[in-house]
């Protein structure tokens, strides 16, 4: 895989350049990401919580 130094949008299939090096998305997707941000954040929190529960279970099962 070739990863260039150019900063391009992180959205799969989108290869537009981002505004600045700190941005992960192009202007177009930045907007949609912002709009979906709350939803995505909730999903992320749910996933993290679920992973946490699983991790605790695994830890417990590993302890003897």
Which position's Cβ is nearest Zn ion? 9
Bridge partners, 47 (sequence order): none
Q: Tell me which residues in 20-39 interact with Zn ion (CB under 5 A).
A: 26, 29
Using the rule CB under 5 A, which residue among 14, 40, 53, 56 binds Zn ion?
14
Count Cβ neighbours within 10 Å for each residue of 11-50 and write b for 16 or more, e otherwise. Answer: beeeeeebeeeeeebbeebbeebeeeeeeeeeeeeeeeee
Instruction: With CB under 5 A as the rule, give the number of residues binding Zn ion.
Output: 6
- Contacts with Zn ion by CB under 5 A lie at 9, 11, 14, 16, 26, 29
């Amino acid at each position: 895989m070739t990863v260039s130094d150019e900063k391009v949008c992180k959205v799969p299939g989108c290869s537009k350049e981002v505004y600045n090096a700190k941005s992960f998305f192009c202007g177009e997707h930045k907007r949609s990401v912002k709009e979906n941000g709350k939803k995505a954040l909730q999903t992320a929190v749910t996933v993290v919580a679920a992973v946490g529960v699983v991790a605790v279970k695994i830890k417990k099962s590993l302890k003897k």
